[in-house]
Chain A
Amino acid sequence: MDTPLIETRNLKKYFKTGRGMLHAVDDVNFKIAKGETLGVVGESGCGKSTLGRVMIRLLDATEGQVLYNGQDIMKYGKSHMNSLRKDLQIIFQDPYASLNPRMSVSEIIAEPIKVCKVLTGKKEIEERVFELMKTVGLAERLVNAYPHELDGGRRQRIGVARALALNPKFIVCDEPVSALDVSIQAQILNLMMDLQEELGLTYMFITHDLSVVKHISSEIAVMYLGQCVEKAPVDELFDNPVHPYTQALLKAIPVPNLKSRNMQNILSGEVTSPIDPKPGCRFAARCPHASSECTHGELQLNEISPNHFVSCAKFGK
C-alpha cells in the first residue's frame, strides 16, 4: 500500500478537568488515502470534533502521532507548522459562529490568502476571491454582503470557499451540514463531492448522521467515548454492521418510510462520562449483549474481514 496522505498512530488527547482526566480521544488509529473520505460517526461527546482538531493540530495531541505524507506533524516547529497549515483546512458545523460578523464575504475569503501571503497584489487577491466564489456557487453580487444577511446554506458556502482559498490537500469537515435544512444540506453535500472530484481533495467528514456519511464517504469509522469501535468500507459497514453500537445507531435513524415504523429494540441508557473511564468496553453499560467478560481487559480492533475492523469482546473474532 502507498503511503496514505494522512495517518494517525495511537493518537490520544486528554483534557484535565476538576473531576479527573477526560479521555476525548483515546488511542485512535486510521489512515486516509489521497482523494478518499473517511466518515467519522458518533454521538455528542464521543470526541469526534476533538479528533478533527488534533488532526490539523489546532490542538496538540497528548500522545501519539499524526503523520502527514509520512511526517509527524506533532513534532513540527511553529514556523514549519504554519507553512503546512495551507494544506490542512477545516469547515465548521455552525455557519453562524464560524464567520466573523464584522467582515464582509470578500474579506472572509481573502483573509487566509492575505495571512499566508499566497498572493500579494490587491488585484490578484480580488480575482482569486471571485474565482473561489464562483467555485462554491456564490453569486458575485454577494461580494460586499455580511454573513448575517445570508441564509445558512450561503454562509456554509463561504466557509467552504475560505477553506479552499489556500488550495488545501486535506479538509476536516466538522458536521458541515447538520445545521442546514434538508434541501440545502443536499446542495452542500453535492458541492463538496464535486469539489473533491475536481480538486482531488481528501476529507475527514465528521457527523452524527450515518445517512449523510453514507453518500460522501469511502470508509467509515464509528466512535464511542473516544475510541473507534468499528471501521469498514462504507458498503460493508451498512450491509454488515457487527458492533452492537453500530447496529443500534443504524436502527435509531428515523427512516422516511412507513414500512419501517419500528419503535422496538431501542438502545437504552445514555452516554457515560468520558472522565477516567473504567477498563474494558466503554459501551458495555448500554450494550444489550454485555456480560462480565466485557468489563475488563483492553479491547483491540480486530480485522474480521478485509478492511473491516471491530472492537468487541463478543462479536468480530
Chain B
Amino acid sequence: MEEKLLEIKDLCVEYKTDEETVYAVNNLSLSINKGETLGLVGETGAGKTTTALSIMKLLPQKIGFIKKGTIYMNGQDIILKSEEEMRKIRGKDISMIFQDPMTSLNPVFTVGEQVAEVIKLHSEGKSKEEIEKRVDELFLMVGLPAERKTEYPHQFSGGMKQRIVIAMALACEPQLLLADEPTTALDVTIQAQVLKMMKDLKDKLNTAMILITHDLGVVAQTCDKVAIMYAGEIIEHGTAEDIFEGNFHHPYTVGLFGSIPDLTTKSKRLHPIEGLMPDPSDLPHGCRFNPRCPKCMDICTKAEPREYISDGHAVKCHLFSDDSSEKKEG
C-alpha cells in the first residue's frame, strides 16, 4: 500500500454573507498518495477552488468557514494549525499555482527576486550565492534561460509567466502541489508544453499534485486518479481508467462527456446537460443533481444518495443502490 500524503474527511465549507449562506463544499472526502496526480474536475461553482483554499487555509477571512471535517497532511490535522504554523507549511510543504499567470506575479519586482523570495522565506541561513544558484537552477528546470531572471513580469508571455509561477511553487520542493486551472488561460500549443513540463517535473521531484480543471481532456493526459465534483460534493471518483474507461458512471459524468465537442465523430449536434448548476445557497433536496438528471427517480428528490463503491471506483447515485441488483450502464 502506498503512503497517504493528504486525507480530507467530511469537509464542509460555508461562505457567510449578510444575506445568505453559500454551501460551497459539502461532506467532501478525498485522499492522495505520495507522488500521485489527482484530477479534481467540475464546472464553475462546483467548489473546486474552495477545496484547494481550505487545504492551504486561505479561505477569505470572516466570510469563509470550515464548518466540519479534518484535513490530514502527513498525519497532522491542518485545520488545527495556527496561522503562524501554516505560514511555514505554505510554499514549503504545500504550494499552489493560480489560474491567471498575468496577476499572480508582482509587476514591480523582477521575476528572479520573486523566485528568490520564496526560497529565502523557507530556508534560513542560506547565503545569497546559494539562493541565486538555486534560482538559476529553477529557471533552467522550467525551461527558461537563467539570464532572464533580471527581467520584469511584463516582459514575458503568458506561457512563460506560468513557467515562472511553477518555478516559484516548486522552489522548496513541496510534497503537494495544488494547481488551480494552471493552463486555462494559455493557448493550446502552449498548454501542451506547460502540461508536459509539469508532468516531467512532478515525476522528477516525486511531488503529489491536485490538478483542478474543468477540462476532461487535460485530466486524461495527466492524472492517475480523478474526482468529479458537483455542487460541492464529489459525485464520482476512481482511477483514470475507472472514469475514462469504466462501465458505470454517475449521470453527471455521462453528461459532461457528452458535452465535450468530439474531434473523432462526424455528428453535428452535441448532447449537453439540460438546465443549470444549482444555486449553492439553495441546494435541491436529496441528490443535488436531480433537477438536471435524465434518470431521476422518486427517491432522488427525497434522500441523499450514499457512495456505492466497487473496486475503489465510487459513485454517489441512487441508480447503484443495493436494491437494484445489477449495476447499470451510465
Task: Give the B-binding residues of A (Cβ under 8 A).
Answer: 43-44, 151-154, 181-187, 189-190, 193, 208-212, 214-216, 235, 238, 248-258, 260-263, 266-268, 270-271
Contact = CB atoms under 8 A, between A and B. Distances in A.
Interface stretch (B60-68, B76-84, B189-197, B317-325): B189-197
B187 A186 contact: no
Nearest to A45: B187
A190 B270 contact: yes
> Which of A209, A249, A258, A262: most chain B CB closer than 10 A?
A258
Contacts of A182: 43, 214-216, 256, 259-260
A195 to B, nearest CB: 13
A257 B260 CA distance: 12
Given A186-B261, A211-B261, A252 B255 contact: no
B122 interface: no
A181 B188 contact: no
Interface in B163-204: 187-193, 195-196, 199
Contact of B272 (A184, A208, A212): A184
Nearest to B277: A151
A183 B43 contact: yes
A263 B214 CA distance: 20
A253 B190 CA distance: 11
> Which of B255, B258, B259: most chain A CB closer than 10 A?
B259
Instruction: Provide the main secondary structure of the chain B interface.
Output: helix
B98 interface: no
> Which of A44, A210, A212: most chain B CB closer than 10 A?
A44
Given A181-B43, A249-B189, A256 B216 contact: yes
A258 B217 contact: no
Given A182-B260, A257-B244, 20 more contacts: A151-B277, A181-B44, A181-B214, A181-B277, A182-B259, A183-B255, A185-B259, A186-B261, A186-B273, A209-B188, A211-B261, A212-B261, A215-B268, A235-B266, A252-B192, A254-B215, A254-B217, A258-B240, A262-B221, A263-B196
7 contacts: A154-B276, A181-B214, A182-B43, A190-B270, A255-B220, A255-B263, A270-B157
A214 to B, nearest CB: 6
B192 A267 contact: yes
A238 B263 contact: yes
B263 A210 contact: yes
B262 to A, nearest CB: 7
Interface in B264-289: 266, 268-274, 276-277
A304 to B, nearest CB: 22
Interface in B198-242: 199, 214-221, 240-241
B271 to A, nearest CB: 7
Given A181-B44, A254-B218, A268 B187 contact: no
Contact of B189 (A181, A212, A267): A267
A181 B266 CA distance: 22
Contacts of B217: 253-256
A120 B159 CA distance: 51
Given A152-B44, A248-B189, A266-B192, A190 B272 contact: yes
Contacts of B190: 43, 270
Nearest to B218: A254
A270 B195 CA distance: 15
B302 to A, nearest CB: 25
Interface in B28-54: 43-44
Contact of A186 (B157, B191, B259): B259
A38 to B, nearest CB: 16
A186 B275 CA distance: 12
A215 B267 CA distance: 7
Nearest to A262: B221
Interface of B: 43-44, 157-160, 187-193, 195-196, 199, 214-221, 240-241, 244-245, 255-263, 266, 268-274, 276-277
Contacts of B221: 254-255, 261-263
Contact of A252 (B191, B259, B271): B191
Contact of B219 (A43, A208, A256): A256
Given A215-B270, A270-B160, A254 B195 contact: yes
A209 B271 CA distance: 18
Contacts of A152: 44
A266 B196 contact: yes
Contacts of B270: 186, 189-190, 215
B10 to A, nearest CB: 27
B188 A253 contact: yes
A282 to B, nearest CB: 15
Nearest to A44: B187
A256 B223 CA distance: 11
What are the 3 closest A-B residue pairs judged by CB atoms, nearest first? A254-B217, A186-B272, A186-B270
Given A257-B220, A263-B196, A190 B187 contact: no
B4 to A, nearest CB: 25
A211 B277 CA distance: 24
A208 B188 contact: yes
B249 to A, nearest CB: 13
Contacts of A250: 263
A215 B261 contact: yes
